[in-house]
Amino acid sequence: MKYFFKTLMLFFIMSAVSYAQENEQKAREVSIIHAGTLLSIAGEEPLKMQSIIVEGNKIISIEAGYVEIAGARIVDMRDKFVMAGLFDSHIHMAERDLNNPLANAADHALMGVKNSRKVLMAGFTTVRDLGARDDTLYKVIDAIEDGEIIGPRIIPGGIIIGVESRANGRECNGIESCRKTTRDMIKEGAQWIKIRSSCRGGQLCANEDGPPIFFDDEIQTIIDVAKKYKIPVATHSHTRDSSLQVLKYDIRSLEHGTFMKEEAMDMMIEKDVIFVPTMSNLDETSARAHNPETDPIFATHSMKFVERQPKTLLKAYEKGVKIATGTDGRGRNAGTNYREIEYFVRTGIPISETLKMATINSAELLGFADTLGTIEEGKLADIIAMDGSPLEKIENIRKVIFVMKDGKIYKE
Ligand SMILES: [Zn+2]
């Protein structure tokens, strides 16, 4: 009997040891990426022939030359351009065509699942969602985290807060309603709050002289609630005065900024507010303006956006406003998130600076400055590779052939 217990005991110890070893093995899984050209930190010069050593979900070191370690998996990117995973800092992952009134929760869920795959495959490993229609995106995020579907790291901003309750907006109308809406949104899981402080671009009241739509005490209430729960606030703002209004408060980012003036840009620099201009939206705005079926008044309104937005971006850049890239993309353009980066370059922002805005600045905006945005020792292994250098020709940003997120390979 004594012998039996001893054997049983030994068996338990042995299996515990082998289980621990197996786990350790898994945690220590090492991949080495041999990078022909490596842009570790956007804005700096890329290096040739480097090895990125990834253990588990982290970058543990970067070595010159092509290093090999016994038992490690080699990822051969010797003829590729390797850089940190890209960010889309303003996207609508689970929203179909904005103007489709028939879209329901099933459409949004399906959109979320399809877009998640497309966005990740395009090399965008982290996104900030700034406006869903309902709570389906939270379920998509759970499914990505559980490994049931694939997608980028999604930072959800809940449903947009505006003055009226609508298909894609929750009501903030008077202090009590603003407090309740903001608190409810955070309770549901929003990690950002987005407010619509001017009319939407598709409305004529979003013109240069258009009115801010909130009262000061309403914005103050939203900011107070968000601050209480340590949630940052993003503000949709097209008009000159809505930008000046929201910049009086502790907001973290200003979206669109179409008609803002230098005074607003100075405030952004002073308060370290990050600008997300959403340029690639203009492709559709321009198509609408040039469509002969568009109402002439609306076509003129749309053209003003197309003409002004690039000037605003350039002016903000020249003044030194911190800028991040975000597409404002929806179902129809997920997977072409690189268009924003190309638009910046077309506008006149240097390529290396644009890549910095799509990585380092976006990581800072989303609170990942210490963990993402560059390929450096200790950071999370979000690494992409493409055929050809985007520094030489920006369109190479479309040719992403390798995607690693959190140490796991999704595309090779
Ligand atoms: Zn948006």
For the stretch 120-155, pLDDT in tens is 999 999 999 999 989 999 999 999 999 999 999 999
pTM of the model: 0.92
Q: Name the CATH superfamily for 29-84+374-411.
A: Urease, subunit C, domain 1 (2.30.40.10)
Q: How far is the CA of 23 from the centre of ligand 1 (A)?
A: 42
At 108, list the tokens: 């949004």
**How many residues would you count in the chain?**
412
Predicted pLDDT at 310: 97
Distances (CA, A) of 302 to 274, 276, 307: 25, 19, 9
Mean pLDDT within 329-338: 86
Strands (E), 45-178: 47-55, 58-64, 73-84, 86-91, 124-129, 153-156, 161-162, 170-171
Fold of 86-365: TIM Barrel (3.20.20)
Residue 3: pLDDT over 60? no
pLDDT tens digits, one per residue of 224-235: 999 999 999 999
Predicted pLDDT at 23: 46
Mean pLDDT of the chain: 92
Q: How far is the CA of 161 from the centre of ligand 1 (A)?
A: 12
Q: Is the CB of residue 95 less than 8 Å from the CB of residue 168?
A: yes
Q: How far is the CA of 332 from the centre of ligand 1 (A)?
A: 14
Q: How far is the CA of 200 from the centre of ligand 1 (A)?
A: 9
Q: How far is the CA of 93 from the centre of ligand 1 (A)?
A: 10
What's the CA gap between 409 and 140, in Å, rounded? Answer: 20
Mean pLDDT within 362-387: 98
In which band, very low, low, confident or very high, does the pLDDT at 7 lie, cut at 50, 70 and 90? low
Q: How far is the CA of 63 from the centre of ligand 1 (A)?
A: 40
Q: Give bridge partners of residue 35 from the DSSP assignment.
A: 50, 77
Q: How far is the CA of 268 from the centre of ligand 1 (A)?
A: 20
What's the CA gap between 360 and 341, in Å, rounded? Answer: 14
Q: How far is the CA of 282 from the centre of ligand 1 (A)?
A: 13
- Under DSSP, the state recorded for 24 is H
Q: How far is the CA of 131 from the centre of ligand 1 (A)?
A: 6
pLDDT tens digits, one per residue of 88-117: 999 999 986 666 777 788 989 999 999 999
Instruction: Return the amino acid letter for 81.
Output: F
46: number of Cβ within 10 Å: 19
Residue 25: pLDDT over 90? no
What's the CA gap between 173 and 166, in Å, rounded? Answer: 13
Higher model confidence: residue 286 or residue 103?
A: 286
Instruction: Please enumerate, as own/partner, the contacts of 393-397 that have beta carbons within 8 Å and a separation of 24 or more.
Output: 394/341, 394/342, 394/345, 394/351, 394/354, 395/342, 396/81, 397/123, 397/338, 397/341, 397/342
Q: How far is the CA of 235 from the centre of ligand 1 (A)?
A: 10
Mean pLDDT within 396-409: 98
pLDDT tens digits, one per residue of 163-178: 987 777 899 999 999 9
- CA 212, 214, 219, 220 torsion: positive or negative? positive
Q: How far is the CA of 348 from the centre of ligand 1 (A)?
A: 23
Q: How far is the CA of 328 from the centre of ligand 1 (A)?
A: 4
What's the CA gap between 86 and 374, in Å, rounded? Answer: 10
Q: How far is the CA of 4 from the centre of ligand 1 (A)?
A: 68
Judged by phi (left if over 0) then psi (alpha if -120 to 50, else beta), residue 320 lies in left
Higher model confidence: residue 36 or residue 204?
A: 36
Predicted pLDDT at 169: 84
What's the CA gap between 254 and 298, in Å, rounded? Answer: 25
Predicted pLDDT at 330: 81
Q: How far is the CA of 393 from the centre of ligand 1 (A)?
A: 28
- Report domain extents, the chain: 29-84+374-411, 86-365
At 164, list the tokens: 């009226």
Q: How far is the CA of 166 from the centre of ligand 1 (A)?
A: 15
